[in-house]
Amino acid sequence: MSSLPPRPLILASTSVYRRQLLERLRLPFSVVASQVDETPLPGETPPDIACRLALAKARSVAQAHPTAVVIGSDQVADLAGQALGKPGNHVRAIAQLQTMRGNTVVFQTAVAVVCLETGFAQTELAQVKVRFRALTDAQIEAYLLAETPYDCAGSAKSEGLGIALLERIDNDDPTALIGLPLIRTCQLIQAAGIQVL
């Protein structure tokens, strides 16, 4: 009796950071961009935004690949309930970092796994508390010129020079701050039928 071939694994994201993280699991996977409007809904909280968008991204790609196990993820920087997204440019990045300096920001990082053929759909949320140093404007400018993190929620990349902006990181899933909580991702894809080890 032959076993069924493993289901294809797809990352519903073109984020280089998420792709690099998923590569750590040494599983074959493909990358497909999701077509999802990321505009927050009225009254939506940062954790709700992250969870809704992670699931929407996975479902969007799963529609075209119903036999695959699809991973979607989203991250929202949460400053006292205010959602801070990707700045997109230098001016907005300055404003974000000035607002966050000396404060604790919760990075809400959601991961969703969907397989349409089996009906599997689950979402997990990792919450990373990050305490920013009391940065000067000169430090903020120097950081942004060095790293240009305009495609990162909250304008900082902790895996690079952005670590110098921080006083403390508290979390239970170390890669969540980079954009994909791998502990939760492993649990979800295994529940969906893909063996990591």
CA dihedral 53, 34, 176, 189 (to 10 degrees): 100
Q: Are strands 30-31 and 69-79 parallel, antiparallel or unpaired?
A: unpaired
Name the β-bridge partners of 166. Answer: 132
3-state SS class at 184: helix
Residue 4 backbone phi and psi in degrees, to 5: -70, 145
CA neighbor of 197 nearest in space, from 17, 112, 119, 187: 187
Of these residues, 37, 74, 78, 172, which one is catalytic?
74
Please check whether residue 109 is in contact with residue 128, taking contact to mean a CB–CB distance below 8 angstroms: yes
Please check whether residue 86 is in contact with residue 31, taking contact to mean a CB–CB distance below 8 angstroms: no
Please check whether residue 24 is in contact with residue 182, taking contact to mean a CB–CB distance below 8 angstroms: yes
CA neighbor of 94 nearest in space, from 145, 157, 36: 145
Please check whether residue 169 is in contact with residue 144, taking contact to mean a CB–CB distance below 8 angstroms: no
- Known catalytic residue: 37? no
Please check whether residue 33 is in contact with residue 58, taking contact to mean a CB–CB distance below 8 angstroms: no
Q: Which residues are catalytic?
A: 74
